[in-house]
């Protein structure tokens, strides 16, 4: 994504009822079940959902109290909470099978701490984090508004609001913003595709959703009428896993920055926090957000890299995209190592990741969410390193 000049940029979001997000939700529900029973459990759960079928697979290491029957019931409960009780996909009637098996001993020996050996990363890989001051959440504006629109529709649907009457859980949004001098100034198009009951009046639905979208965008940002699209194919009755097979980990750009920043390639859902493609990506976002929140730059990209079985990151890369406020990027990278322990164990302890907090992350983005002190969730969205960063730089 270019960061200056005039241009258009587009991001998309998908709802919790999108087939891939149903799979993500189930995988993270399995993870939460294990972490609730044992904070040190190891989980790498993949889920597939299709017409009235749920399949769990992957590797786990955890207590026997987490049973196959309990996990299948938890999966059904997740589907029920999303809102699926349709002929083609129902939490009541779907066949569910569990093929989770024991974690590889070869992986375990590299990850586990023993004697003088610290806990190693669960895999090799590169992870990125990003923050931009173009929204209050320090997220890129296109993905922020794409998420916001669908999250609002979800909330209205659950509340029984008349504006979304007849809508079902599966939905997608797409927001294109016009940037002027590198800053978003208006939406040039908005697309919403949403599953609905048979026989719904599409023109009426478009009018109702237009009002919802207008409320979620800044004043004056609503695109002209011809650039607001609702169900462009004209009908969207068959949806969810009945209309399209869903798999864990297929919406990694939706989960992160909507294409506005690099992605290391690893998915998040269903993975316990020893897997650095999840926990280190959270740490990268946390550090980048604190850099921007501290006023050190308008934009910040951070990359970490790891090797399987090795505890410390092989590299820490900082890019302020020429927006740094008299900050040397190499020095800042060194400071970030000082203000946060970037070993897998250090990240988990700092962000308190060994807890059943993940089902909520599975839709509407892992980043840009509001931390809740009462539930102690989304800890990587906090800006509690601001003072330490300013102090290290004598600000």
Structure tokens at 113: 């701490």
Q: Kindly report, residue by residue over 185-216, the tens digit of the pLDDT.
A: 999 999 999 999 999 999 999 999 999 999 99
Residue that the structure tokens 């000082």 belong to: 338
Cα distance between residue 82 and residue 135, in whole Å: 28
pLDDT at res. 169 = 97
pLDDT at res. 123 = 77
**Which sign, positive or negative, has the C-alpha torsion 285, 290, 293, 298?**
negative
pLDDT at res. 149 = 98
DSSP-derived 3-state class of residue 312: coil
Binding-site residues for Mg(2+) sit at 20
In CATH, the architecture of 125-133+251-392 is: 2-Layer Sandwich (3.30)
Cα distance between residue 89 and residue 80, in whole Å: 10
Cα distance between residue 208 and residue 387, in whole Å: 45
Residue 186: phi and psi, rounded to 5, are -170, 165
Cβ atoms of 347 and 341 closer than 8 Å: yes
pLDDT at res. 105 = 60
Look at residues 75, 21, 23, 28 and name the one whose alpha carbon lies nearest to residue 271.
Answer: 28
pLDDT at res. 56 = 98
pLDDT at res. 116 = 45
- The average confidence (pLDDT) of the chain is 94
Q: Kindly report, residue by residue over 47-58, the tens digit of the pLDDT.
A: 999 999 999 999
Binding-site residues for K(+) sit at 46
Per the DSSP assignment, residues forming a β-bridge with 304 are 127, 316
Domain ranges of the chain: 7-14+142-238, 19-111, 125-133+251-392
pLDDT at res. 118 = 63
pTM score of the predicted model: 0.95
pLDDT at res. 110 = 55
Cβ atoms of 311 and 120 closer than 8 Å: yes
Per the DSSP assignment, residues forming a β-bridge with 229 are 191
Cβ atoms of 249 and 21 closer than 8 Å: no
Cα distance between residue 255 and residue 246, in whole Å: 15
DSSP-derived 3-state class of residue 281: helix
pLDDT at res. 282 = 98
Q: Which residues are CB-contacts of 109 (< 8 A; sequence separation ≥ 6)?
A: 309
**CATH 3.30.300.10 assigned to 19-111:** yes
Binding-site residues sit at 18, 20, 46, 59, 103, 170-172, 244, 250-251, 267, 271, 275
Binding-site residues for L-methionine sit at 59, 103, 244, 275
| Residue 395 CB neighbour total at 10 angstroms | 14
pLDDT at res. 44 = 96
Q: Which residues are CB-contacts of 157 (< 8 A; sequence separation ≥ 6)?
A: 83, 164, 167, 169
Considering only CA atoms, give the Rg of the chain: 21
Q: pLDDT under 70 in the chain at which residues?
A: 1-2, 105-118
The third-level CATH classification (topology) of the domain covering 7-14+142-238 is: GMP Synthetase; Chain A, domain 3 (3.30.300)
Binding-site residues for ATP sit at 18, 170-172, 244, 250-251, 267, 271
Cα distance between residue 372 and residue 176, in whole Å: 30
The H-or-E segment that residue 240 falls in is helix 240-243
């Amino acid at each position: 994504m270019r960061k200056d000049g005039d241009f258009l940029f587009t991001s998309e979001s998908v709802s919790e009822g999108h087939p891939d997000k149903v799979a993500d939700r189930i995988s993270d529900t399995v993870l939460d079940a294990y972490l609730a029973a044992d904070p040190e459990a190891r989980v790498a759960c993949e889920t597939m959902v299709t017409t009235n079928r749920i399949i769990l697979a992957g590797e786990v290491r955890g207590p026997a109290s987490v049973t196959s029957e309990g996990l299948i019931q938890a999966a059904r409960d997740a589907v029920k909470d999303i809102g699926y009780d349709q002929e083609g996909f129902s939490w009541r009637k779907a066949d569910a099978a569990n093929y989770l098996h024991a974690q590889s001993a070869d992986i375990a020996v590299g990850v586990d701490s023993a004697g003088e050996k610290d806990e190693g990363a669960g895999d090799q890989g590169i992870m990125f984090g990003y923050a931009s001051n173009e929204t209050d959440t320090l997220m890129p504006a296109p993905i922020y508004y794409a998420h916001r629109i669908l999250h609002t529709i979800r909330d209205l649907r659950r509340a029984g609001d008349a504006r979304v009457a007849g809508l079902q859980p599966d939905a997608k949004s797409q927001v294109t913003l016009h940037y002027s001098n590198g800053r978003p100034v208006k939406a040039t198009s908005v697309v919403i595709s949403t599953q609905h009951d048979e026989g719904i009046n599409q023109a009426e639905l478009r009018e109702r959703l237009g009002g919802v979208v207008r409320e979620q965008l800044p004043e004056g940002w609503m695109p002209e009428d011809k650039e607001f699209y609702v169900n462009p194919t004209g009908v969207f009755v068959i949806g969810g896993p009945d209309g399209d097979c869903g798999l864990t980990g297929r919406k990694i750009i939706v989960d992160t920055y909507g294409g506005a920043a690099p992605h290391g390639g690893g998915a998040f859902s269903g993975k316990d926090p020893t897997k650095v493609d999840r926990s280190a990506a959270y740490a990268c976002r946390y550090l980048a957000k604190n850099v921007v929140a501290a006023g050190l730059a308008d934009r910040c990209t951070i990359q970490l890299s790891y090797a399987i079985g090795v505890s410390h990151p092989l590299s820490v890369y900082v890019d302020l995209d020429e927006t740094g406020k008299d900050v040397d990027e190499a020095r800042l990278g060194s400071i970030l190592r000082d203000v946060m322990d970037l070993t897998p164990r250090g990240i988990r302890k700092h962000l308190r990741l060994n807890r059943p907090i993940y089902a909520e992350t599975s839709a509407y983005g892992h980043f840009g969410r509001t931390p809740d002190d009462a539930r102690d969730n989304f800890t990587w969205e906090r800006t509690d390193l601001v003072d330490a960063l300013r102090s290290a730089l004598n600000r």
